[in-house]
Every structure is written in structure tokens, then in C-alpha cells.
Structure 1
């Protein structure tokens, strides 16, 4: 068993019952080929939550500061995370992310860049659109709904792939593509909340 699979098993055993995690819509994630998972960002626990609910191995972009402590940085790299400087303008990280997609793997992104303290979905950075436009990856929007206070169940909802065909034909900018992705994430969250009133 790989370290990633072992860590996923352990984390799942801890976080799933603790936060009453339920995954919805995983059938929207292709089983093969390059995929970009784009999620809203409300907690430091979001990456492992996406990791344990996504059926595929996910390579996460993580802020550079997390890799500064030698042991923790080494562990993150072994768990398929790699560093990026704030703002998603790190050429090395962008190149590495494209390489992962070229190999048909799954890239996990939190386009907002930082956590939303209010839970409201904020404007995303252009990096997500960059990866979408520069690769042939399927972009799957993901909404983490609830909170980590344990008072209500945490839901991880994967939506249908983002329709990028029109945007590509119109030669949309990376920011415009990110805006479309973030809008799809908002719709997932809103539709879930309305249907569960």
C-alpha cells in the first residue's frame, strides 16, 4: 500500500465520523484522463476532505509556507502536494501542474487562494483558468458545504464538468474561465442548500 493510500485510509477513519462527511456526485469525476478538481476553500482541512472523498489520487497545490518546515514539507511532497507562491504566478508550480495533467492525473485546486472566513465563495484567481485552458483536462467543480464545528454534517458535492467549449472557442481569458468555474461552484452550493431546506 502506498503512503498516499495509507494516509487516505487513516484520515478517512478520523475525519469522516468526526465531521459526518458525505460525498455526493462522485460519478461526475471521470475515471480516466486528466482532471482538475476546483473547490471552494473554508478550512485548512479542505485538502484532506477532498482527498478522502475523491475516488482518484489528487495532486494538490499548497502554499509555499507549508513546505518550509523540513519534516512536514517532505511529508506533503510524499502525499503528492507541491508548493506554489501566493497568487498562482509561480512558473515552476504552473509547469509542474501542467505536467501532472499531461500524465493524465488529477490536480486539486482551491481557486480562491485563501480560506473564506465567512464561508461565502470569493472571486477565484486566474491560475485555475490557466490550467483549464492550457490542458485537455476535465474541470470538475466541487462545493464543500457546512462547517467544521461539528454542529452540522459536512457535504462534499461534485458537480457536472464545467462546460468550457464555448469559452475556448471565444478565446476567453484565464480569469474569465476561473469566473465560470467559481460560478458553477456557487450554483452547486446554492442548489444544494435550496433542495435541503
Structure 2
């Protein structure tokens, strides 16, 4: 289902918008990694999913999984639910297991969609540290919704320099979180 959905999305994007992917040479070619991006709309999820060379398992708020049809669709495209209000051990175990098995996990570290640069939470740093995989910061500039697609018709995804979280003390997690925040908050598109 993931491949079918990605193919359909690529066809739709081909006709209505162009996606430019920059710095692909920075992406790890093997092993798991965490891809992170600011969350300003829902189109960056689709753009990332169809542009990066490997399937992405996106963390998604559990509220999206309340309706069976939507939950089934999200599961089929490799998304998995997370309780943002009351995170359980599975909030970390699921992505760590995926990463250790060589998969790519997508995390929007601000935890919610916003037009502004929302503060980044430490979950992505913690997960990458536990799985011992790199974090790949990504910036997305482009339409946030379908109305914007018709107006602007172009999106740019820029891959940043991957980095490894080597230590996990509270102060070091804070420093890495601040670094990630600087990396993913590129210019806000469509001001």
C-alpha cells in the first residue's frame, strides 16, 4: 500500500507542483536514521514521503487513528500512533525498534503544526540517542495546503548535515535539541 500511495501522490504532485530535493548526498545510504522537519502544514509530510529514497515511518498523534478508515490508511503508509499528552514507553520503543532494524523514522519535533517556528521537543534526540542512529534535519519551503499548491506550485526540501547524538545527559540533550531547532527552522515559506 505504501508504494501504491506514494506513486499516486507522485503523479498528483507531478501535475500540480514541482518538488526540488537538495543535498541528497547527505542522506545515509544504509541503516536507520531519524528525519526531522518543522511542521507547518500537512503537505510537507507528503512531499517528504514521496521525495526521499526510502519509506518513512512517521510518528502521528493518536487522535488521527480514532476512525477506522483513517487508521487503516495511516497504518498502511507506515505511520504509527503516539500519545502526545501521556507518552508511554511504546512512544519510544516503537521508533527505536524500527531504527535499529534499519528503517527511517520521521518526526516533527515541534509536535504540532504551526505557521511559526514552534519550540522543538527533545523526543527526536532521545529516540536517536537510544537507537544510536543519526538525525537528518530537513527544511521544507513550499505550500502548506492545497490552496497554496495552486498558488505557488513549487516546494523545496533541503537535506541538512546528519549528526549523531553521542551523550544523553540532561544538559547534552538540551544542547542537541537547540541544535536541531536551529537546523530545521529554515525560512518560513509563503509568508
Whether these two folds match at TM > 0.5 is yes
Deviation of 1:172 after TM superposition, in Å, equals: 4.1
In the other structure, the counterpart of 1:11 is: 9
Q: Residues 88 and 20 (structure 1 numbering): CA distance in 2 closer, same or farther, change over 3 Å?
A: farther
What are structure 2's unaligned runs of at least 5 residues? Answer: none
- State which of 103, 111, 119 in structure 2 corresponds to 1:123: 119
Alignment pair present for 1:43 and 2:41: yes
CA shift in 2, pair 1:17/1:158, >3 Å: farther
What's the CA shift for 1:121?
2.2
**Structure 1 residue 161: deviation in Å?**
0.7
Residue range with higher mean Cα deviation, 13-22 or 41-50: 13-22
1:155 matched to 2:168? The reply is no
Residue 26, structure 1, aligned to residue 24, structure 2: yes
Tell me which residue corresponds to 2:140: 144
Distance 1:99 1:36, change over 3 A: same
Q: Which residue of 2 aligns with 1:54?
A: 52
**Contact residue 111 and residue 178 of structure 1 kept, 8 A:** no
Over aligned residues, Cα RMSD in angstroms? 2.2
Structure 2 residue 111 is matched with structure 1 residue 109: no
Deviation digits for residues 65-114 of structure 1, max 9, x if unmatched? Answer: 11000011012112111000125833212110110011011000000111
The alignment's TM-score, normalised by the length of structure 1, stands at 0.84
Change (3 A) 1:93 1:121: same
Q: How do residues 76-91 of structure 1 correspond to structure 2 at under 5 angstroms?
A: 76-87=74-85, 89-91=87-89
CA distance in 2, matches of 1:129, 1:47: 20
Q: Per the alignment, do residues 22 and 88 of structure 1 end up closer, same or farther by CA in structure 2, a change over 3 Å counting?
A: farther
- 1:183 maps to 182
Secondary structure of residue in 1 paired with 2:57: strand
Asked if the contact 2:21/2:51 (under 8 Å) is kept, the reply is yes
TM-score normalised to the size of structure 2?
0.86
Q: Which moved more, 1:24-33 or 1:61-70?
A: 24-33
